[in-house]
Amino acid sequence: MPSTLKPLDPTQVELEISITPEEYDAAQDAAFRKLSRNAKIKGFRPGKVPRKIFENTYGKETITAQAEDELLNKAYRAALEEHKIQALDRPAVERIDADTEGQPPRFKAIVSVLPEFEPKDYTGVEVTDVSEQATDADVDRTLEQMRKEAATLVPVDRPAQLGDTVVMDYEGKVDGVPFEGGAAQGQETELAEDRFIPGFVSGIVGMKAGETKDAAATFPDPYANPDLAGKDAVFTITVHDVKEPELPELDDELAKRVSRSETLADLRDEIKRRLDDTVKRNSRRQMSAELLDKIVGANDFPLPAVLIEREIDNLMDESRQYVARAGIGWDEYLQQSGKTVAELRDGFRPEAERRVKTTLLVEAIAKKEGIVATQEDVESELSALAAQYGQPRERIIQALQSNVGALIDGIVRTKTMDRLIEQANRVPAAATAEKPATEVAAG
């Protein structure tokens, strides 16, 4: 089954597939035998019906359609292999009738493919240097937080202040009407402004045990409950107890109490290791984002429409999930946003194009640099996942199943970004800030 290839544009090719008369006849014979096995014609057992009678009953075109379908599937796969084509989606196929009666048809298949391009300007890119190690101050803050979490609450005979914990009853009303979730009794609450709606904690500060008062507060907009968003509320609050945290000493005994470390020095070392891992991940993420912005801006190549539409589908799914988590129905969200599904898709298009372009560019750089996921890389990632989720390695492999390809892609992407950061020109933040905007953008 010979085939010819004709490029249509950088992201589409046309395959023309021919079928020889011998192949066409053999395929029709095979199609008839396959169809006749399930044919139900009075007077004949399955598989024993003569072809002429089968054609009179079901139509000759039934055999032809089956034969052409089988031929096309086989010929299409062979053509992809022959021309070394990586198809991105199902092809658009057109049947071309033969010029001579009884001769087999030809087929044209329009195939979406990846563009061919050479990545450029990805080494020596100027990027803001970000520390990849935690500081002593970071360790001190973590230890202080551990002290607070291990603190003992001690009753005090004074007005409540920020950082205290109070035991209280409260009831909130909007326009004089109680609302769901707005009341509690015997609630033990740490007084921290950022944990509650504006005005609630400041209304409690200054109250003593046994005191009751009204505190005005305002729900933020937006808010998880849209019925309360932006509305003013009045909370009637009764404080029963005021307690302050009594912090333990920062010593070996605290280390044993809050961790598996035997000494405070060991605990500091463990905290430093954990914080270093977190800081490195965050700094690499920040530098990677800056690098990709500059490299993507320096490279221009056509993007396959099918990949963009697929990425828009992903963004739409992410949007639906976000809306569902917020407790809002999709139709209600569309009504609130004042947009149609088509308008939302158009709005997502620039981000979809950026994602597709970034993915193709990173893949091209990895290929050019010879970056691959080794067996050692895969084993290391599986071990890391097993430790992260507290599951045996075999269970992780079973859970991945068909996602092994995504795991390998993730490893290659991470190694590629590490290579780009190694090749980058890392400059202090102050130096970057002092340069003219045009020079920074040029990288």
Q: What is the DSSP string of 374-433?
A: -HHHHHHHHHHHHHHHT--HHHHHHHHGGGHHHHHHHHHHHHHHHHHHHHSEEE-HHHHH
Residue 426 dihedral angles phi and psi, to the nearest 5°: -85, 120
Beta strands 232-246 and 212-218 are antiparallel
pLDDT recorded at residue 99: 57
In whole angstroms, give the CA distance from residue 130 to residue 268: 23
Residues 227, 327: contact at Cβ < 8 Å?
A: no
pLDDT in tens, 159-203: 999 999 999 999 999 999 999 889 999 999 999 988 899 999 999
In whole angstroms, give the CA distance from residue 364 to residue 300: 13
CA triple 115-116-118, angle to 5 deg: 130
Q: And the tokens for 160?
A: 């409540």
Residue 240 dihedral angles phi and psi, to the nearest 5°: -95, -40
Task: Identify each DSSP E strand in 2-120 by its residue range.
Answer: 3-9, 12-17, 92-96, 106-112
3-state helix, strand, coil in the chain (%, to 5): 50, 20, 30
What CATH number was assigned to the domain covering residues 3-112?
3.30.70.1050
The candidate with the shortest Cα–Cα distance to 66, out of 56, 77, 55, is 55
CATH-assigned architecture of domain 152-246: Roll (3.10)
pLDDT recorded at residue 193: 85
CA triple 301-306-310, angle to 5 deg: 110
> Is CATH 3.40.640.10 the right assignment for the domain spanning 262-442?
no
pLDDT recorded at residue 414: 94
pLDDT recorded at residue 403: 82
Q: What is the DSSP letter of 118?
A: -
What type of residue is 42? K
Beta strands 126-128 and 425-427 are parallel
Domain ranges of the chain: 3-112, 152-246, 262-442
In whole angstroms, give the CA distance from residue 189 to residue 304: 55
Q: Strand pairing partners for 235? A: 172, 215
In whole angstroms, give the CA distance from residue 147 to residue 245: 10
Compute the residue count for the chain. 443
In whole angstroms, give the CA distance from residue 331 to residue 327: 12
The ranges of the chain with pLDDT < 70 are: 1, 98-102, 430-443
CA distances from 108 to 13, 193, 256, 408 (A): 10, 67, 73, 35
In whole angstroms, give the CA distance from residue 70 to residue 19: 12
Q: And the tokens for 82?
A: 């022959």
pLDDT recorded at residue 36: 87
Q: Do 152-246 and 262-442 share a fold?
A: no
Q: Give the global pTM.
A: 0.73
CA distances from 151 to 137, 243, 261 (A): 21, 11, 19
Say which residue the tokens 């890391």 belong to: 384
pLDDT in tens, 123-140: 999 999 999 999 999 999
What type of residue is 95? R
